[in-house]
Amino acid sequence: MMQKKLSTTDHSRDIAGLKYVYPVLSRRAGGLSIGINFNTNNACNWRCVYCQVPDLVRGAAPVMDFQLLEDELRFFLDNVLNGNFFDQFNVPEQQRVIKDIAISGNGEPTSLKGFARAVQLVGQLGKEFKVLPSSHFVLISNGSLMHQAEVQQGLKILNDYQGQVWFKLDSATESGRQKINDTRQSNKKTLENLNLSADLCETRIQTCVLDFLSDAERASEKTAYLELLREMQQNAVKVRKIMLYTVARHSLQPEAERIRKTGAEEMDLLASLLLEIGYHVECSY
């Protein structure tokens, strides 16, 4: 039987044979990321053109089986810490460390009914197994539902576990968000939700830099993006770090053939401009 191997280009949600828990060798985290997938129905309220989720549909996360989530996470953490997980998945020696527990998966995780309860459960188990707080506890979100009371309660709990929100901001214009994320969310709502998130929990901006729009549109998008981040600095929005990354895996959306990876030179130039504004920047090429 062929041995399974984790890689930074394979984020298969079922590689460990579990419903809610999956391992990832993360480019951004630099080691093992324990993924938690609330959206097992492949449903999301956005449809980003670079999304690698198969058979993506519009919608919210399905009803959570909290006992199964607990059982799977207990099993997985025990296997990583005390079992043969790293050998089983042929993980390179230098990456045999848990860098984070990341609530992410196949859609927008904050759409889960009982989101705060789920965050609490994951946090409790991470602390019980002594993975938290030495490893990061991360919520990867498009930020569109931060105005909901249930989501805000979840962010308060995440903050109690010294967690972070990685808030998606791929475009600073409404036309750009419509083309890249397939959402009509306004600039006003985006900034309101970003402020809410940053007030409740440490929040980092996560931006996918990709070659998809026309040259003129990309230039306009870059200008708007930098202007927005300057405005955020002036208004003392509590965001200090920006995570830039480009596509590493093939999109499974209809626009896939039009998407190109952004080169390191262009990424570094954008990073230098953000540094000048006053942000800490991390690039994943």
The domain of 230 spans 21-284
3 state SS of 265: helix
Domain-located, residue 264:
yes
Domain-located, residue 180:
yes
CA dist 40 and 106 (Å) reads 6
Residue 45, pLDDT score = 97
pLDDT band at 28 (very low <50, low <70, confident <90, very high): low
Domain-located, residue 7:
no
Domain-located, residue 15:
no
Average pLDDT over residues 185-205: 96
Domain-located, residue 16:
no
Give the largest CA-CA distance in the chain.
58
Domain-located, residue 4:
no
pTM over 0.75: yes
Domain-located, residue 232:
yes
pLDDT band at 285 (very low <50, low <70, confident <90, very high): confident
For residue 74, what is the domain's CATH number? 3.20.20.70
The per-residue pLDDT for range 86-120, each reduced to its tens digit, is 998 888 888 899 999 999 989 999 999 999 999 99
Query: CB of 68 within 8 A of CB of 20?
Result: yes
Average pLDDT over residues 255-267: 93
Domain-located, residue 12:
no
Count: domains in the chain: 1
